[in-house]
Amino acid sequence: MKIDFIKTICPYCGCGCGIILEVVDGNIVKTLPDKDHPVSRGQLCIKGWNAHEFVHHPDRLTSPLLKGKNGFQKIPWEQALDIAAEKLKAAADKYGPDAVAGLSSARVSNEENYLFQKLIRTGFSTNNVDHCARLCHGPTAAAMARALGSGAMTNSIDDFVGADLIIMFGSNAAETHPIIMGKIYEARAKGATLIVVDPRRTEPAKNADFYLPINFGADIPLINGMMGHILDNGLEDSFFVTERTQNFEAVKKNLASWPMDKAVEISGIGPNMIAKVAQLYAKAKSASIVFCMGITQHSCGTANVHAICNLAMLCGQVGRQNAGINPLRGQNNVQGSCDMGALPNLLPGYQDVTDPGVRSKFEASWKTCLPSTPGLTVTEMTGQAGDNVKAIYIMAENPMMSDPDINHVRERLKKLDFLMVQDIFLTETAQLADLVLPGACFAEKTGTFTNTERRVQLLRKAVLPPGEAVDDFTILNRLAQKLNLDFDYKNPEEVMDELATLVPIYGGINFTRLESAGLQWPCPSHDHQGTSFLHKDNFSRGKGLFVVPDYTPPREMPDPEYPLVLVTGRMFCHYHTGTMTRRSKTLSQEAAHPFAQIHPDDALALNISQQDSVRVSTRRGSIVLSARLTRDVRPGSLFIPFHFAEAPANALTHEALDPVSKIPEFKACAAKLAKEESKEDRKHDSRKGQDI
C-alpha cells in the first residue's frame, strides 16, 4: 500500500485554505487541514473537510463527447480537438472574429486562465472573453479601480483580527467565507465592535453588536445618511480628505439632497441607529468594511461600491493595516482569473486593451496583432447568442444554472452554431453542448490559485484524472496547436514565468518562491516579500476619487400580482451550481433538497406549514420546493439558495443589469408564492423544522 500526503489548496471559496490530501494507492481517501497554512492554520469548514468527496465520483467525465442524432457519443481526443478547432474557426471565418466568444473560469488555475484568454484573443482576434466575476464582484472591480486604482481587498485576512470595528454590508460570511468569519469573531472576542447590515437575520447578524435590517437595495441611502451625520458633527478626517483624495466637494454637495429623514425612510433604519453606527465608524481607531453580494448584485451595484469607498475615505479608514475596504472574493481563484485578464476590456494585470502602448507590449511577447475594442460580457454573450455570437467555448462555468433567467439562456444557447463545454461533469450547460471536453479537477493538476487577500498559492497534483480526462492546461495547449497558434507551454511554471515579465504586480513571483506560504501581490521584484495591505501612502491611482453614487431602487419592485421580494444566495454546505458539493455524500446529507425561507406571517396567510411543497413564481418562470418557515427573513420576502438544479432559482431571477458593470440583479425581484397541492411525498432534510 502506498500512502502520500499532498499539500494543496481548497477548491471552493476565496479564503483559499490549505488542505492536505491523503492518497492511498492513487485514490484520495481523506482531506486534512494544513496546520502550517498562513490563512487557515489548521482550520477548515465543512466543504474543505470534504473537498475530496466528488473527485472519484462515477459521474466524472472520462472522454470527449460529441452530440449526434442519438445523443452523446464518445470520441477520441484527436477527433474532438479537430472538431473544436474547425467549428470555432468556421464561425470566425464566416461571421467575423466577434462571432466567437469564450467563458473562462474562476475555478481553474491562473495559468489555465492566462492560456484561455490568450487563445481567444490570439486565435480569433476578439476580446470576447469574460467569466463569472461579472456576476459577482464586477461592480467592485469597476468602482474600486476607479476610486482607488485597484479592485482588490485592501487588507489581509489576518488584519481583521486587529480591527476595532468591523462593518459587514451584504455578506453572510459565516456561511460563505467561514474562515474569515472566524477571524472577525476573534476580533470581536478581543473587544472589536461588529455591525451587520443585511435584510436577512443571518448568523453574523445574530452575533453582531448592532444589526441593521436594511430594506432591499437601500445601502446608498443608509451610507448617505451616515455620511451626512458624520459631516454635521465634524467627525470626518479632514486631513485625509484634503491630502489624499479629490472630488469631495461634489459628494458633499450631493449629500445636501440626502437629509436624515430621507435616508431613514428609504433604508428602513431609524435615525438614532444611523447616527450611532456613523459615530462608531468615524471614531474607531481602525475600522474595516467587509462587503459582498448584498452590495454588488443590484442594478445600482457599482454605485453601491462607490458609496462604500466614499464612507471609508471620508473617515480616513483605509490604507492602514487594520483599516480598509474589503470585498470578499467568492471563488477559489476569482481574484486570479481577473488578474489573468479573463475580462473583455483588460489584458493580464488590469492593463487596458484600448491602450496602444499596452497592446504593443503584449503583441511583442505573443508575436501577434491584438484587437483593440473591448469584447462582450457574460450576459451580453448569452444575450447575443444566435445573433452576433455564433460559437461559444465555455471552460468550467455552468451558466444554465448561474445566469439570470435561465429559460431565456437555454433558448439563446440553442441558437448557436457551436457550443463547446469543458467541465468535469455533464452539467446542465454541457447537456446543451455540441462537444464536451473532459477536464481534470483541482486535485489532478499543478498551477496556482490567488485567494481573496491576493495571495498566490501553489496547487499540487495528488492523483491522475479519471479515464481520458486531461487537465485544462493540456487541453488549451493542444487546442492552440490545432489552431496553429504560436504557443505550446511545457508546464504551468513556464506560463507564470512569462506572466511575470508582462504583469508588474506578479513581476517577482515564480513557483519556487511560492513553495512555503505563497506571496501576496503586488510583488514587483524577486527580492520583494509581497504586500499585505494596499494604498499605504498613496492610492494605487494617486489620489482617492470621491464619486457621487446615484441611488436607484431595484428594477422590479413587488406589486399586487407579485407581492414578495425574492432574494437569492447561498448556504453553508453547498457551493454554487452544486456540481461538486451535491456529489459529496457528507455535504448532501446536510442539505439534500431545495427550499425557500418564508416568514411565518406570509406562510400563515397562504395556509403553508413547515416543509409543505410551495410554488414560487415570477414573470420569468416558476419552481416547486419545500417551505422553510423562519423569522430570519422579513415579512414580504423570500430567500432561495441557487444550488439545486431540480428547483433552479435562476428560472425566477431578473435580467436587469447594472449599467456600468453589467452585473444582474440577483438580489431582488418580484415573486409570488402558493401552496403546491402535490401528492408527491417529498423527502425532508436533516434541518427539518429547526428554523422557525
Ligand X SMILES: Nc1nc2c(c(=O)[nH]1)N[C@H]1C(S)=C(S)[C@@H](COP(=O)(O)OP(=O)(O)OC[C@H]3O[C@@H](n4cnc5c(=O)[nH]c(N)nc54)[C@H](O)[C@@H]3O)O[C@H]1N2
Candidates 135-143, 353-361, 563-571, 582-590; binding stretch for Mo ion (CB under 5 A): 135-143
Q: Choose the contact partner of 15 out of Mo ion, ligand X, ligand SF4, none; CB within 5 to 8 A by kind.
A: ligand SF4
Under DSSP, is residue 482 helix (H, G, I), strand (E, B) or coil?
A: helix
Sign of CA dihedral 163, 165, 168, 169: negative
> Residue 572 interacts with ligand X (CB under 6 A)?
yes
> Residue 570 interacts with ligand SF4 (CB under 6 A)?
no
Candidates 14-22, 267-275, 388-396, 607-615; binding stretch for ligand SF4 (CB under 6 A): 14-22
Choosing from 21, 28, 44, 340, the residue that interacts with ligand SF4 (CB under 6 A) is: 44
CA atoms of 258 and 222, how far apart (whole Å) = 10
Q: Which three cell numbers stand for residue 176?
A: 460563505
Choosing from 111, 423, 453, 676, the residue that interacts with ligand X (CB under 6 A) is: 423
Q: Which residues are bridge partners to 159 per DSSP?
A: none
> Residue 292 interacts with ligand SF4 (CB under 6 A)?
no
> Residue 667 interacts with ligand X (CB under 6 A)?
yes
Using an 8 Å Cβ cutoff, are 358 and 503 in contact? no
> Residue 13 interacts with Mo ion (CB under 5 A)?
no
Residue tagged 471563488 (cell numbers): 331
Candidates 12-20, 204-212, 481-489, 678-686; binding stretch for ligand SF4 (CB under 6 A): 12-20
Residue tagged 487594520 (cell numbers): 322
Amino acid code (one letter) for 333: N
Nearer to Mo ion among residue 297 and residue 540 (C-beta):
297
Is there a cis peptide before residue 648, judged by omega within 30 degrees of 0? Answer: no
> Residue 64 interacts with Mo ion (CB under 5 A)?
no
Residues 428-457 that bind ligand X (CB under 6 A): 439, 441-442
Nearest to 63 by CA among 81, 88, 51, 48: 81
> Residue 332 interacts with ligand X (CB under 6 A)?
no
Under DSSP, is residue 283 helix (H, G, I), strand (E, B) or coil?
A: helix
CA atoms of 331 and 354, how far apart (whole Å) = 28
> Residue 17 interacts with ligand SF4 (CB under 6 A)?
yes
Candidates 337-345, 424-432, 496-504, 514-522; binding stretch for ligand X (CB under 6 A): 424-432
Q: Order of strands across the sheet with 193-197?
A: 210-212, 193-197, 165-169, 287-291, 324-327
Minimum distance from residue 202 beta carbon to ligand X (Å):
5
Q: Choose the contact partner of 159 out of ligand SF4, ligand X, Mo ion, none; CB within 5 to 8 A by kind.
A: none
Residue 373's φ and ψ, nearest 5 degrees, are: -95, 135
Contacts made by residues 70-79, CB under 8 angstroms, sequence distance 24+ = 72/426, 72/436, 77/468, 77/470, 77/478
Candidates 233-241, 274-282, 291-299, 674-682; binding stretch for ligand X (CB under 6 A): 291-299
Nearest to 343 by CA among 11, 665, 662: 662
Minimum distance from residue 424 beta carbon to ligand X (Å):
5
Nearest to 199 by CA among 213, 186, 211, 217: 213
DSSP code, position 313: H
Candidates 121-129, 244-252, 398-406, 478-486; binding stretch for ligand X (CB under 6 A): 398-406
CA atoms of 660 and 305, how far apart (whole Å) = 12
Candidates 44-52, 276-284, 434-442, 488-496; binding stretch for ligand SF4 (CB under 6 A): 44-52
Q: Choose the contact partner of 650 out of ligand SF4, ligand X, Mo ion, none; CB within 5 to 8 A by kind.
A: ligand X
| Per-residue mark of binding to ligand SF4, 168-187 (x: CB under 6 A) | ----------xx--------
Q: Which residues contact 563 (CB under 8 A, 6 or more apart)?
A: 636, 670, 672
- In Å, how far from its chain's centre is CA 548? 25
Element holding 206 (H helix, E strand): helix 203-206
| Residue 344: other Cβ atoms inside 10 A | 26
Minimum distance from residue 45 beta carbon to ligand SF4 (Å):
3
Under DSSP, is residue 170 helix (H, G, I), strand (E, B) or coil?
A: coil
Residues 273-332 that bind Mo ion (CB under 5 A): 330
Using an 8 Å Cβ cutoff, are 437 and 475 in contact? yes
> Residue 474 interacts with ligand X (CB under 6 A)?
no
Candidates 9-17, 103-111, 507-515, 549-557; binding stretch for ligand SF4 (CB under 6 A): 9-17
Give the count of residues interacting with ligand SF4 (CB under 6 A): 13
Choosing from 18, 301, 330, 558, the residue that interacts with ligand X (CB under 6 A) is: 330
Candidates 40-48, 132-140, 198-206, 308-316; binding stretch for ligand SF4 (CB under 6 A): 40-48
Choosing from 8, 13, 101, 393, the residue that interacts with ligand SF4 (CB under 6 A) is: 13
Nearest to 647 by CA among 633, 663, 634, 628: 628
Q: Give the distance between the most distant pair of CA atoms in the chain.
A: 73
The H-assigned helical ranges of 96-177 are 110-124, 138-147, 173-176
Nearer to ligand SF4 among residue 178 and residue 664 (C-beta):
178
Minimum distance from residue 214 beta carbon to ligand X (Å):
5
Residues in the site for ligand X, rule: CB under 6 A? 13, 105, 107-108, 132, 135-136, 169-173, 175-177, 197-200, 202, 214, 216-217, 219, 292-294, 297, 330-331, 395-399, 402, 422-425, 427, 439, 441-442, 472, 567-570, 572, 574-577, 579-580, 642, 649-650, 653, 666-667
Residues in the site for Mo ion, rule: CB under 5 A? 136, 330
Residues in the site for ligand SF4, rule: CB under 6 A? 10, 12-13, 15-17, 40, 44-45, 47-48, 178-179
